[in-house]
Amino acid sequence: MFGPLHLWVHRYEFPDMNDEEDGNWLVATAEVVLSGAGRAEVSGPFITTLELTNFRDDLVRMSVQGHGSVSLGTVEPELNWNLWTASQGHLETQLEVVGHGHRQQFHFQVEQSHLPRLIRQLDVVLDRFPARGMPHSRP
């Protein structure tokens, strides 16, 4: 999905719920494999459609402005993802993955040109798993 991070969204945790609270939890897997820094994986209902929507919208703003920082902080502690613009067209990325009693941190750079692809990938996920129980729709 983005550098050494892969995020797969499998399903809604509660497919029959349509409210804002329980209806937006997603069962997902996040995997980071970074040469020389190790590997980490978490799986389960640790992210919501609302968190992904806000993250996607913040990425769009950063892409339009050409600079800035964004964070995907989840209610559950399994995944925290921070991105910020750096010099020479790079994005600095810091990931924290917490699972199975271990906390691992990863830091890497990717080209800023990867940002539109990440936004498109999030659009695909959010089209498949739209936010529920919300009075407005995603732009």
Alpha-carbon distances of 110 from 1, 94, 115, rounded to whole Å: 12, 11, 9
Mean pLDDT of 52-81: 94
**For residue 82, pLDDT beyond 80:** yes
pLDDT at residue 83, as a whole number: 96
2 pLDDT band (50/70/90 cuts)? confident
By C-alpha distance, which of 42, 43, 15, 45 is closest to 27?
Answer: 45
Mean pLDDT of the chain: 91
pLDDT at residue 24, as a whole number: 97
**For residue 18, pLDDT beyond 80:** yes
Mean pLDDT of 34-38: 80
Q: Which residues contact 11 (CB under 8 A, 6 or more apart)?
A: 26, 27
The residues facing 75 across adjacent strands are none
Tokens of 120: 């498109």
Q: Can you give the pTM of this predicted structure?
A: 0.90
pLDDT at residue 115, as a whole number: 93
**For residue 139, pLDDT beyond 50:** no
pLDDT at residue 136, as a whole number: 55
Domain ranges (residues) in the chain = 5-128
Q: What CATH number is given for 5-128 in this structure?
A: 3.30.2450
**For residue 3, pLDDT beyond 90:** no
pLDDT at residue 134, as a whole number: 73
Mean pLDDT of 76-86: 94
**For residue 79, pLDDT beyond 50:** yes
